[in-house]
Structure 1
């Protein structure tokens, strides 16, 4: 354990030294995964870089296993997102940041058995969030390609009441935290998006490997796997669609965007805002210049290495 993680444990009041309880961290994570089938609604705050916003969340699971959730920003303009089975169906055109990128919280698809390969899982103790008793879990990365998580799970339902993302020094990068939670099903009206929620015209396909028919990611951090590819039409005759390749390790995730530039002059860039990094690089393709951009909640160096590995699939096959 690094000095940063030791400081984190000490900052939690020596919770890392709490004796083992009857339940294991793996048991709680499995319960958290199963809790995605519950109906609930509440208000949570989102914090990064010292800025806060508050959001209403409605979540419903139907008898056919379909999950629907709607998020409405309560501060300023009433921006919103509607998701079905984890896929964004509509969002306000002005909504920016991770809440617009599909990271509506809490929405994690966990493979608990695999997760322990990439994170050290620990029970840290107890807390109280939104007036409810919670169990605190720590997930420390086993390599430098992901961040640590601190999860506060509702003791009754295992719903995540609070989620904190931490860098290698144990400093907070991002926080989601419920301020109120009701275990009741939303109404059909609650789940109906407003007129300003723009339907996304996307073609979502599954991926069995880290590639589409056109592009391949040559290097992935251990534990990350392809989750799907989204293709979005781009205005203009004969312009190839924007492609977005999705990857995750069960907690952390990132996307690789490939966009044809069409003669535009665009500079390469490296940036970080809170937990989210963005690394873009120009790449010459058979169909012209493209911009490859890696966006996600991963360390900057990891994103840079991923971006450098992206190639046209046929090019890589012939190397």
Structure 2
């Protein structure tokens, strides 16, 4: 069956017969594949109308996963990771990878995700010259985005991923243009001279905080919490991260101490940033929610934040 064009896929999801059993099996294969498969390839990434291209090498051997990522556009930028921990990076990538690692990446759990998303097989596909199967990952409410995944029929790895809003509009694209499964050589995993060694201080996730939310979308739980210095003042900023196993967002809370700041909202591709002033017993606080969730959901989360010492609103 031919994959439907993007502009009709979203509407088609609601009327096509669901092949839930087959789609669920593919999601199980995907969950297992990413930590077991070695491969090399090149891919394009599109976000907010901007494109970039990258080369990637991943070697899985005796339970160890080594990954090298190299940006092919503009000045060379790369990062090397072993078991998800950064070993080296060019300066402009180091901060990005550190922030990504702060998420303590959620392991894909199709059974848990099926509470919040519906999986449907929507047809056969071909990506990077390889046969693939196309799946729809359809959110069951308005508080998260949907996906169209094209999984390699041989390895079950994602050859293409489209993130779509509720209108079927493209928010983000990841797509291989060349993909080869199999072992990667030590030479291919060797970083360039500009990949500077880095040290990342590992810590256990801390799912406690002096802050809480009176409301969260169903399925989202607190993954981690911390405090960090503000980049703009001498204040300490509280940070919390939430996820549902697929979607994630962060909440930052900073005391205002009489500072005059305005509420704000913005969106770049799938990523929203919403800032709201809230009042607490200790004074006004600016709450900023950043993540890949709809704007309305981010605003509701921001307005629901409370100090843990305050009685929960009923």
TM-score, normalising length: structure 2: 0.79
Deviation string 1:243-268 (CA, Å, 9 cap, x unpaired) is: 43222222222122234567765433
Distance 1:120 1:49, change over 3 A: same
- Per-residue deviation at 1:229? 3.2
Distance 1:167 1:312, change over 3 A: same
Please point out which of 137, 155, 158 is paired with 2:156.
158
Count matched residues: 305
CA RMSD of aligned residues (A): 4.0
- The residue aligned with 1:176 is 174
Q: Which consecutive unaligned segments of at least 5 residues does structure 2 have?
A: none
Distance 1:91 1:269, change over 3 A: farther
Distance 1:291 1:39, change over 3 A: farther
Q: What is the alpha-carbon distance in structure 2 between the residues aligned to residue 135 and residue 88 of structure 1?
A: 32
Distance 1:282 1:35, change over 3 A: same
Structure 1 residue 297 and structure 2 residue 297: aligned?
Answer: no
- The answer to whether the Cα contact below 8 Å between 1:127 and 1:136 also exists between their aligned partners in 2 is yes
Distance 1:115 1:266, change over 3 A: same
Distance 1:136 1:279, change over 3 A: same
- The answer to whether the Cα contact below 8 Å between 1:91 and 1:200 also exists between their aligned partners in 2 is no
Q: What is the alpha-carbon distance in structure 1 between the residues aligned to residue 89 and residue 278 of structure 2?
A: 30
- The answer to whether the Cα contact below 8 Å between 1:277 and 1:295 also exists between their aligned partners in 2 is yes
Q: What is the alpha-carbon distance in structure 1 between the residues aligned to residue 91 and residue 134 of structure 2?
A: 36
Larger deviation: 223-232 or 129-138?
223-232
- The answer to whether the Cα contact below 8 Å between 1:82 and 1:193 also exists between their aligned partners in 2 is no
- Per-residue deviation at 1:187? 4.8
Deviation string 1:26-77 (CA, Å, 9 cap, x unpaired) is: 11001001011122222111112222111122333452x4544333221112
- The residue aligned with 2:220 is 224
Q: Which consecutive unaligned segments of at least 5 residues does structure 1 have?
A: none
- The residue aligned with 1:69 is 67
- The answer to whether the Cα contact below 8 Å between 2:256 and 2:284 also exists between their aligned partners in 1 is yes
Distance 1:301 1:318, change over 3 A: closer
Q: What is the alpha-carbon distance in structure 2 between the residues aligned to residue 226 and residue 194 of structure 1?
A: 39
Q: What is the alpha-carbon distance in structure 2 between the residues aligned to residue 304 and residue 79 of structure 1?
A: 35
- The residue aligned with 2:130 is 132
Q: What is the alpha-carbon distance in structure 2 between the residues aligned to residue 140 and residue 315 of structure 1?
A: 36
Distance 1:250 1:88, change over 3 A: farther
Q: What is the alpha-carbon distance in structure 1 between the residues aligned to residue 303 and residue 199 of structure 2?
A: 29
Q: What is the alpha-carbon distance in structure 2 between the residues aligned to residue 43 and residue 59 of structure 1?
A: 12
- The residue aligned with 1:41 is 40
- The residue aligned with 1:56 is 55
Larger deviation: 39-48 or 74-83?
74-83
Q: Per the alignment, in what secondary structure is the counterpart of residue 298 of structure 2?
A: helix
- Per-residue deviation at 1:203? 6.0
Distance 1:20 1:111, change over 3 A: closer
Q: What is the alpha-carbon distance in structure 2 between the residues aligned to residue 216 and residue 251 of structure 1?
A: 21
- Per-residue deviation at 1:141? 1.1
Distance 1:302 1:20, change over 3 A: closer
Please point out which of 272, 276, 292 is paired with 1:277.
272
Q: Per the alignment, in what secondary structure is the counterpart of residue 145 of structure 1?
A: coil
- The answer to whether the Cα contact below 8 Å between 2:209 and 2:225 also exists between their aligned partners in 1 is no
TM-score, normalising length: structure 1: 0.78
Q: Per the alignment, in what secondary structure is the counterpart of residue 8 of structure 2?
A: helix
Q: What is the alpha-carbon distance in structure 1 between the residues aligned to residue 302 and residue 38 of structure 2?
A: 39
- Per-residue deviation at 1:216? 1.7
